[in-house]
A and B are shown apart, each in its own frame.
Chain A
């Protein structure tokens, strides 16, 4: 029997037409509830949805959606690695920010030229993210501290530490903004002209995000490590009984999650802002949690979720032009996540009931049980 949490985190697969039904039900739910909210707020839902559709199909907005989506996707992957093993890494937020501060400081110092500097920045970010997450993993293994509690606290410490590093060591004041020294031109990651009809380039890190998504799928589904990770997530005691070193798995998974988290800030740092300042986007780690739930930890699902989330975020300006407040966008995002959870739960329950009916039908008609079973 599987629990609610297993179903929420996508550890139970739906087969056949049910796998299509769940997302469709979710979308219908989300559209309906959002329409009601818009009507209550005194706005015209049709106008709002037309604006959204119009916005989403312009080349320029597509690039914007892809660019923020890349960061959201990497964040979701970082969270999902933990989720698959029942590890709740709430600390992705702190991990990517601390990683970005230190990487930006190093990159701005320009100790090595050109491409080497890019490599240095990325490696530094991955290492810092991994080490910061490892603290929570080790605390869990050796002291039994729940990673939820420790990562939340580590987030606060990362904020303080990052702020101290910027103000005391790396900081340069531009106007009223305090930030690290900009990374020199030769170490910028170039954009890709992926979408026709607009001069805006797609962030080069989209390649990294796609590779990461593929690697996530391969490692989890096609390696022994991935099997052990999923097994531990489904039942820790069964995993122990079959010889999985759960302690090692916890630390390694946490480190992996943190290493991916370290990359979240890289598209912005190396492809857009080139420095870490008071303006650096915060809270991406929490967005990642929502998207991992939305995408049910599947690499494709999370990609769709990240793009949807990014689309809604970016369309907030357009909706504001219609005098629809940006809070409506946040309501939409919340509604989408809840719809997905509810829709999948409903479909799961429907499947359960349908199965029970089928079995009882078979029991009631004992004449031809062998045939029926063969058909299944």
Chain B
């Protein structure tokens, strides 16, 4: 009887802990939003009112939402636009995403930018309701309308280059890939990385691990999971690990530091980011996906009245993806990587995307 009571109590505590954990998820950065909003109400802002809808994580995720935010900030200072940013919550329905976009469009925000393919379905509906508002969506080409611009990236091409760099730098002939969530978008990173590595060394060993399975998107924001996965790879003989895992990437860098090995960053030039200053010694390069450039370009085109609907492809040729050289760790192999880059641009090498 006593045992039973204790187990009940334990159960109750656990349930409580879970609720707390759920409530704690997605820690806040309300300060940024608050501070920037104060600036936006300045009288100088006579330009466009830009509405931005982020995916889960929002501004401050150190990854692709942040990259979009950088583009917006740049536009704010250079193009004198006003901005309003809304963020998704975990576990919401398409209808709630739709409401977010509608709220922006209805509130006089034009253009409206949706960050992430999760907005694809909702955007199609809202774009139809507001034919006079221009919309853009990042990472999605399924939402098509006369007033939707699709900002697409050739992640596989950038990943090919860092894959080649990993193979050139690996002494053990053993490298790893850590993906945040097992979704088609991240498969593109993996496919490019693998193709690049094999182009250098056909018999190279590549370990692959995805942190979570959808609909659990926790793999994009769980450094502990990233660390465990990468530690496993280093223990199994890898000496370079590439991460496409959003906020979990920090854990991969930690593991690299502990194993005195190398890691490759993603989305931003992560060796140059203050958030990762402790790990800049282990980040040999990063695959840069210039969401900021795409967002800024779109806003610039908007202010000059030259927005084009349909896909805008940001590949190597357009400079939409690239690799970084901060820290000088790959200076010795740079000519070789640039050679691959030219071959991809000229079409001599075609990189698989899945």
Contacts and interface: CB of A to CB of B under 8 A. Distances in A.
Interface string A64-81: 100110010000000000
A221 interface: no
Nearest to A290: B19
Interface stretch (A102-110, A206-214, A274-282, A363-371): A274-282
Interface string B3-35: 011011111101100111011011111100110
Nearest to B182: A163
Interface stretch (B139-147, B250-258, B263-271): B139-147
Interface stretch (A44-52, A222-230, A322-330): A322-330
Interface string B75-97: 00000000011110111111110
A178 interface: yes
Given A8-B12, A174-B142, A327-B28, A282 B18 contact: no
Nearest to A341: B16
Interface in A144-203: 146, 148, 159-160, 162-164, 166-167, 173-178
Interface stretch (A21-29, A125-133, A313-321): A313-321
A328 B94 CA distance: 22
A86 B183 contact: no
A345 interface: no
Given A177-B117, A178-B184, A323-B34, A317 B99 contact: yes
A356 B152 CA distance: 72
The prevalent SS among residues of A at the interface is helix
Interface string B31-47: 00110010000000000
Interface residues of B, number: 60
B350 interface: no
Contacts of B4: 236
A146 B15 CA distance: 13
Contacts of B23: 330-331, 333-334
B199 interface: no
B95 A272 contact: yes
A148 B10 CA distance: 10
Interface stretch (B208-216, B239-247, B272-280, B284-292): B208-216
A166 B84 CA distance: 36
A88 interface: yes
Contact of A175 (B25, B142, B212): B142
A3 B1 CA distance: 14
Contacts of A323: 33-34, 37
A325 B9 contact: no
A249 B249 CA distance: 47
A313 B184 contact: no
Given A237-B1, A282-B90, A283-B91, A97 B184 contact: no
A314 B96 contact: yes
Contacts of A284: 91
A175 B141 contact: yes
Contacts of A317: 86, 99-100, 103
Interface in A295-349: 313-314, 316-318, 320-321, 323-331, 333-334, 337
B183 A281 contact: no
Contacts of A148: 10-11, 14-15
A146 B7 contact: yes
Contacts of A330: 23, 25-26, 89
Nearest to B1: A237
Between B15, B26, B93, B94, the greatest number of chain A beta carbons within 10 A of the residue's beta carbon is seen for: B93
A176 B140 contact: yes
A181 to B, nearest CB: 15
A236 B2 CA distance: 12
Contacts of B118: 177, 278-279
A335 B217 CA distance: 26
Contacts of B305: none
Contacts of A280: 215
Given A176-B139, A328-B30, A321 B99 contact: no
Nearest to A61: B99
Nearest to A237: B1
B20 A334 contact: yes
Interface in A28-65: 41-42, 64
A216 interface: no
Contacts of A257: none
A25 B123 CA distance: 42
A318 B99 CA distance: 10
B16 to A, nearest CB: 9
Interface in A1-22: 3, 5, 8
26 contacts: A5-B12, A41-B34, A88-B11, A90-B14, A90-B15, A90-B18, A159-B212, A167-B182, A173-B184, A176-B139, A176-B183, A178-B183, A178-B184, A272-B94, A273-B93, A278-B118, A278-B215, A279-B215, A281-B92, A286-B22, A287-B91, A320-B85, A321-B103, A325-B30, A326-B89, A333-B23
Given A42-B34, A159-B213, A163-B213, 11 more contacts: A86-B8, A146-B7, A163-B214, A164-B213, A174-B120, A283-B91, A284-B91, A320-B85, A321-B84, A321-B86, A323-B33
Interface of B: 1, 4-5, 7-12, 14-15, 18-20, 22-23, 25-30, 33-34, 37, 84-87, 89-96, 99-100, 103, 107, 117-118, 120-121, 139-143, 182-185, 212-217
